[in-house]
Amino acid sequence: MTEEQQINIIEEKYDDVWTHILNYISYDGANETIITSKQIKDAKKTWKGKQCQFEPRLLCKRDTYEKLPEIFKKYGICIISVSNSEYLLTKTNIYHTLVYNNDSEIIKIHKNNSSFLLNIGNSEMSMIDNLRYTDLFESAEYLNEPILFGSLLNGRHRCNFKTILGEKEINVLGSQYQPDSCYESQNKILLIEGKGGNNESFNIRQLYYPFRSIYDIVQNKKEIIPIYINTDSRKIIHIWKFMFTNPLELTSITCVSYNKYELV
């Protein structure tokens, strides 16, 4: 079975699968707890539904609040990776709501037509590449200086740090992250997460895990600018610029600015 087929089955039976898993580990939503990859896989032994691989990486990756299983919403919990094989069922909301300003002006930016390859594909990475070569990222709104290095941090990486989540400190040991892009200038670092579709929220982990890995190295030597990019069905590009008011706290994310763009 291909990964795409697994994902389709998981999406189709997602609520039922997670209800089964939580019943299997006798979790009633009263407290926070760690669930392991082994527990998730072992739950398959008593599963009577449609064939499903019970792959933790696919089951536990929820990029928007809207895609959480209904039982999570009922219990008021979210799930976040804290190691290569452990996930925390937390009472802290790890999603940030995306606010769209319908009255905001759409800024037209000119696509760089010098490259043949920039016209290939319609993925998030293709969109980010096109934005990079309009010089938008080097504008006053973002880096405000030339890009010296990048795209950086391509592929999957692992991170290790302590962070504040809710009212307690948690250890993250060996969890994976994969930013969509990252650029470095003389004084700043631009960290990018990009998605298509009219998303209403995003998982803060997507920006915080790479942000924290960078912060632990550069500290205050360079400003780190996390941005979230979303392209809607009308091909309007929405960009939210964020900051973490406390770099050691995952949910301290704050929106600094919001802009809408159109490639012409």
Per-domain residue ranges for the chain? Answer: 3-91, 106-263
Nearest Cα to Cα of residue 93 among 107, 110, 76 = 76
CA 262, 127, 254, 146 dihedral sign is negative
| Helices first, then strands: H and E counts in the chain | 6, 14
pLDDT bin (cut points 50, 70, 90) of residue 234 is confident
For residue 178, give Cα distances in angstroms to 40, 87, 93, 155, 220: 23, 17, 21, 6, 23
Nearest Cα to Cα of residue 79 among 247, 203, 252 = 203
pLDDT (0 to 100) of residue 258:
98
Amino acid at 214: I
pLDDT (0 to 100) of residue 7:
53
Q: Which residue has the higher pLDDT, 130 or 3?
A: 130
Residue 48 in contact with residue 17, Cβ under 8 Å? no
Residue 9 in contact with residue 50, Cβ under 8 Å? yes
Average pLDDT, the chain: 93
Residue 9 has pLDDT above 80, yes or no: no
pLDDT (0 to 100) of residue 14:
82
User: Can you tell me the distance from the alpha carbon of 233 to that of 178, in angstroms, rounded to the nearest whole number?
Assistant: 25
pLDDT bin (cut points 50, 70, 90) of residue 223 is very high
pLDDT tens digits, one per residue of 95-154: 999 999 989 999 999 999 999 999 888 888 899 999 999 999 999 999 999 999 999 999
Count other Cβ atoms within 10 Å, centred on residue 181. Answer: 23
User: Can you tell me the distance from the alpha carbon of 122 to that of 101, in angstroms, rounded to the nearest whole number?
Assistant: 25
Structure pTM?
A: 0.93
pLDDT (0 to 100) of residue 51:
79
> Average of pLDDT values for 76-87?
97
User: How far separated are the first and last CA of the chain, in Å rounded?
Assistant: 41
Residue 152 in contact with residue 182, Cβ under 8 Å? yes
pLDDT (0 to 100) of residue 122:
80
Residue 14 CB contacts under 8 Å (≥ 6 apart), including other chains? 59, 67, 69
pLDDT (0 to 100) of residue 119:
87
pLDDT bin (cut points 50, 70, 90) of residue 50 is confident
Residue 171 has pLDDT above 70, yes or no: yes
Ranked by mean pLDDT, the top range of 58-67, 192-201, 236-245 is 236-245
Residue 6 has pLDDT above 80, yes or no: no
